[in-house]
Amino acid sequence: MTKVAAEVTRFHTRLLKCDLCTDECRAYWQHASQEGCTPDPETAFSEYWFGARSLPRVRMLLAALRERFDLWPEALEVLAAWPSMTVATRRAICHWHLQLADPLYRQFAGVCLPQRRAAGKLVIRRTSVVQWIDQVCPARWQISTRIQFTRKLIHSAEQAGLLVVGDDGVEIQTMRVDDVSLTYLMYLLRCTQFAGTLLQNPYVASLGLDADEIVARLRRIPAIGFQRQSGLQEFNWQYDSLAHWARAGGLPASGSAITGEVA
């Protein structure tokens, strides 16, 4: 029986050494997905996968990125073959895979920020994040570590497009996610063990869409075939898997326009 990939549920400290890392993720997709490639640190270091990084830094990056992508080999194949990925799409995909691999970031981006947005509290203080971490993981880390986590959580969420960091503080904003990226997410979650449903989970919640908006978005994506009638929800998947969707033309051709982007 094929092992089903699952979101990580054990809290850890890898985020302190490797945040969203969009450029490093892209390099990993291109190299680690190659047939016969064994992504060992010495190879990645000698071939400059991540540029002129030290061998210890390369080891750390590989360990973190394996956790984010290797459980989803089909996704890795799709990401390596994506012909025309926008910056916004790359950020969104890196964001979702970081959520899968890091429960603290998952809850921050997919629970904490949406709750504040719903309450109209669009400005968040760093001290509030430090306190929130202690509520999520009581007495697990000292204050100095929680402060480090706060920096990394805010920086990662800013890179993903969830936050804007300015002189007046940190403000919550809505991610820009097009229909192709949303299709990727739904097919990824379809083959993943996670808490929640396909409509109600921290990954979808992090987008900042309310229930009606997400339903409207899904209804217009043929590859998902979503329908809702009289309170009943149904997915009529057009493709068997994420890889099947990509091979059948789900990915945008180089230079083509992508519609359905959230402002």
Q: Distance between terminal CA atoms of the chain?
A: 42
Domains of the chain by residue range: 11-83, 100-172, 179-250
CB 236 within 8 A of CB 169: no
**pTM value > 0.85:** yes
How distant, in Å, are the alpha carbons of 23, 77, 180, 251 from that of 255?
A: 21, 21, 14, 12
CA 245 centroid distance within chain: 19
Token representation of residue 112: 């904490």
CB 254 within 8 A of CB 84: yes
Closest CA to 137 of 97, 113, 107, 178: 107
How distant, in Å, are the alpha carbons of 59, 219, 254 from that of 79?
A: 22, 24, 14
Question: Strand 169-172 and strand 226-229: pairing?
Answer: unpaired
Tens of pLDDT, residue by residue, the chain (263 residues)? 356 899 999 999 999 999 999 999 999 998 887 755 667 889 889 888 899 899 999 999 999 999 999 999 999 999 999 978 999 999 999 999 999 999 999 999 999 999 999 999 999 999 999 999 999 999 899 999 999 999 999 999 999 999 999 877 899 999 989 999 999 999 999 999 999 999 999 999 999 988 899 999 999 999 999 998 877 889 999 999 999 999 998 888 654 333 344 43
- For residue 159, give the 3-state DSSP assignment: helix
Q: How far apart are CA 40 and CA 59, in angstroms?
A: 8
